[in-house]
């Protein structure tokens, strides 16, 4: 750490900043200053194409020194630097490529008590430009007001090693973008309308949650979670985040769906950012549509973040593709509680059953009765991506007995079709 460095953010909107030099470095500096709302005056006999594109045209006969200029614009003195060019400036950047000129600019800035960034020699300046990571934290659902947006800015200085600073910045930027760093505002705001995000958590592995989902979790004040969601992510939440567990098990629903809907509405109407963390995808047997309607009926903005559905990901975890060239051209996903006898009986159509362990025998019999061969391969995959992940294989004629003998239990995904033959478990069982 440089003990002489005092990190500071500058509010320069509407203030004059002088950039001496016309090359790519000067162009980058000018662009950032314009974004910050500064009035930028460039002093350079020649400018590069990127900088030229930023410079505002002047009316005939106008002189750049006639006034402070307009905030967020760039004007130019088409000549070399000369004493007096820094008059009225709040900040100076010099990047001429000439050590002598940069030293003269830094000396004048020092005399005027104006901070100066010297691109050619950092030690010659009195200010440094850090590598910066930015992320906007907002109620950025489709209906949310942009006025509630705030920005988190992380500046990295690494002495006289800008590339190291950039690498650290990039690493922080990635963590901010994915929500792995805390982004939730902790200073009380002015209240107002909250929001709800229906986040698909995937099959349970925290690494399979989308970056958008993790970022919304990092901003949440309330998380309403399922039993099959990626619960390890809850350990990353701040202590003051309210976590409401509404998990269901087969045949046991301690919190009815109507109460879940009411919870989302209650917290959002209180002005809180709510994440409904669901297993799989919110719209694949996740009742996300019902939650969306309940919130919209109360004027609450809702964002839906898709998740990796267990119907596809859990079979993949044990080496089973739900479609495979020459074996399966399509697949049907059911809950296992429906009349599956209506599913196409074609041998090139895969059937995926979710939440179907308790009715596995009935489901197998219904598929055989509707025309499937009793020798059709079947795999039951328990606890996909979890600590007790296991694949149990058989045929429609045998799977119920095999699963009972193996003690198969929920949660599990059942795959029915020739694609099961691809899996290592099928080959290991020697079923042909």
159-192 pLDDT, tens digit each: 777 788 889 888 888 887 777 777 766 654 445 6
Which pLDDT band holds residue 7 (cuts at 50, 70, 90)?
Answer: confident
Of residues 79 and 254, the one with the higher pLDDT is: 79
- Choose the final residue of a domain: 85, 101, 129: 129
Q: How do beta strands 377-382 and 412-416 pair?
A: antiparallel
Which pLDDT band holds residue 419 (cuts at 50, 70, 90)?
Answer: very high
Range of the domain at 225: 195-309
Measuring CA to CA, which residue among 363, 402, 365, 366 is closest to residue 382?
402
pLDDT value for 1: 46
Rounded Cα distance, 19 and 15, in Å: 13
pLDDT value for 165: 85
- Choose the final residue of a domain: 129, 159, 175: 129
What's the mean pLDDT in 95-115? 95
pLDDT value for 248: 65
Give 362-425 as a DSSP string: HHHHHHHHTT--TT-EEEEEESTTSTT-EEEEEETTTHHHHHHHHT--SSEEEEESGGGGGSHH
pLDDT value for 121: 80
Q: Which residue has the tokens 């760039």?
A: 74
What's the mean pLDDT in 84-92? 96
Rounded Cα distance, 340 and 366, in Å: 7
Helices (H), strands (E): how many in the chain?
11, 17
The answer to the question of residue 304 being in a domain is yes
- Percent of the chain at pLDDT above 70? 88
Same domain, 207 and 303: yes
Helix 360-369 and helix 399-406, axial crossing angle in degrees, nearest 10: 170
Residues labelled catalytic: 226, 248
Full-model pTM: 0.66
Whether 60 shows a pLDDT value over 60: the answer reads: no
The answer to the question of residue 138 being in a domain is no
Same domain, 249 and 296: yes
The answer to the question of residue 151 being in a domain is no
Rounded Cα distance, 6 and 278, in Å: 45
Which pLDDT band holds residue 252 (cuts at 50, 70, 90)?
Answer: low
What's the mean pLDDT in 267-283? 94
Edge to edge, the sheet with strand 39-43 lists 74-77, 39-43, 16-20, 91-94, 115-118
The CATH number linked to 363 is 3.30.950.10
Copy the structure tokens of residue 51.
Answer: 């900088």
3-state class of 184 per DSSP?
A: coil
Q: Is the peptide bond before 31 cis (omega within 30 degrees of 0)?
A: no
- Choose the final residue of a domain: 284, 309, 334: 309
Same domain, 248 and 340: no
H/E element, 333: strand 330-334
Whether 402 shows a pLDDT value over 90: the answer reads: yes
- Which residues are bridge partners to 244 per DSSP? 224
Which pLDDT band holds residue 322 (cuts at 50, 70, 90)?
Answer: very high
Whether 59 shows a pLDDT value over 70: the answer reads: no
Same domain, 252 and 335: no
Copy the structure tokens of residue 99.
Answer: 């050590």
Same domain, 289 and 214: yes
pLDDT tens-digit profile of 192-233?
Answer: 679 999 999 999 888 899 989 998 998 899 999 988 888 888
Same domain, 302 and 219: yes
Which pLDDT band holds residue 63 (cuts at 50, 70, 90)?
Answer: very low
Whether 29 shows a pLDDT value over 80: the answer reads: yes
Question: What's the mean per-residue pLDDT of the chain?
Answer: 86
The answer to the question of residue 316 being in a domain is yes
The answer to whether residues 301 and 253 touch, using CB atoms and an 8 Å cutoff, is: no
Measuring CA to CA, which residue among 304, 286, 341 is closest to residue 332?
341
Residue 345 gets which letter from DSSP? Answer: -
Which pLDDT band holds residue 269 (cuts at 50, 70, 90)?
Answer: very high
pLDDT tens-digit profile of 75-86?
Answer: 999 999 999 999
Same domain, 296 and 326: no
Rounded Cα distance, 350 and 15, in Å: 66
The answer to the question of residue 173 being in a domain is no
Same domain, 366 and 410: yes
How many domains, the chain?
3
pLDDT value for 198: 97
pLDDT tens-digit profile of 38-47?
Answer: 999 999 999 9
Which pLDDT band holds residue 251 (cuts at 50, 70, 90)?
Answer: low
The answer to the question of residue 162 being in a domain is no
Same domain, 268 and 315: no
Same domain, 96 and 121: yes
Which pLDDT band holds residue 317 (cuts at 50, 70, 90)?
Answer: very high
Same domain, 389 and 266: no
Whether 71 shows a pLDDT value over 90: the answer reads: no
CB contact burial 300-331 (16+ within 10 A = b; e otherwise): bbbbbbbbbbbbbbbbbbbbbbbebeebbeeb
The answer to whether residues 331 and 305 touch, using CB atoms and an 8 Å cutoff, is: no
Which pLDDT band holds residue 133 (cuts at 50, 70, 90)?
Answer: confident
Measuring CA to CA, which residue among 366, 381, 373 is closest to residue 349?
373
Of residues 344 and 25, the one with the higher pLDDT is: 25
Minimum mean pLDDT range among 16-25, 173-182, 350-359: 173-182
């Amino acid at each position: 750490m440089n003990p002489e460095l005092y990190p500071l953010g500058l509010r320069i909107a509407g203030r004059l900043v002088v950039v001496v030099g016309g090359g790519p470095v000067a162009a980058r500096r000018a662009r950032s200053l314009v974004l910050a709302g500064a009035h930028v005056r460039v002093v350079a006999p020649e400018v590069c194409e990127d900088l030229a594109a930023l410079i505002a045209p002047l009316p005939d006969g106008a002189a750049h020194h006639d006034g402070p200029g307009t905030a967020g614009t760039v004007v130019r003195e088409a000549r070399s630097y000369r004493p007096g060019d820094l008059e009225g400036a709040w900040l100076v950047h010099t990047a001429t490529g000439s050590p002598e000129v940069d030293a003269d600019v830094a000396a004048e800035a020092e005399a005027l008590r104006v901070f100066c960034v010297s691109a050619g020699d950092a030690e010659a300046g009195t200010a440094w430009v850090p590598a910066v990571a930015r992320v906007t934290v907002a109620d950025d659902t489709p209906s949310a007001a942009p006025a509630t947006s705030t920005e988190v800015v992380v500046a990295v200085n690494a002495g006289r090693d800008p590339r190291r600073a950039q690498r650290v910045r990039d690493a922080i930027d990635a963590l901010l973008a994915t929500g792995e760093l805390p982004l939730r505002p902790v200073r009380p705001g002015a209240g107002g309308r909250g929001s709800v995000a229906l986040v698909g958590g995937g099959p349970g592995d925290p690494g399979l949650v989308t970056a958008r989902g993790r970022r919304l979790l990092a901003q949440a004040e309330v998380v309403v979670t399922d039993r099959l969601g990626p619960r390890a992510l809850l350990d990353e939440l701040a202590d003051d985040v309210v976590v409401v567990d509404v998990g269901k098990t087969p045949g046991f629903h301690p919190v009815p769906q109507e109460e879940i809907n009411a919870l989302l509405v209650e917290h959002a109407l209180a002005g809180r950012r709510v994440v409904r963390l669901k297993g799989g995808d919110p719209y694949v047997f996740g009742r996300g549509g019902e939650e969306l309607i309940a919130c919209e009926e109360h004027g609450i903005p809702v964002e839906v973040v898709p998740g990796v559905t267990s119907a596809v990901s859990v079979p993949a975890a044990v080496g089973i593709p739900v479609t495979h060239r020459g074996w399966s051209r399509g697949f049907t996903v059911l809950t296992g509680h429906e009349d599956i006898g209506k599913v196409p009986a074609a041998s090139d159509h895969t059937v995926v059953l979710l939440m179907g362990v308790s009715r596995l025998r009935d489901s197998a019999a219904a598929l055989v009765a509707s025309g499937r061969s009793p020798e059709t391969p079947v795999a039951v995959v328990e606890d996909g991506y979890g600590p007790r992940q296991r694949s149990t294989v058989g045929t429609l004629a045998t799977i119920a007995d095999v699963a009972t003998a193996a003690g198969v239990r929920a949660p599990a995904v059942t795959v029915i079709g020739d694609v099961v033959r691809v899996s290592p478990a099928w080959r290991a069982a020697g079923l042909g």
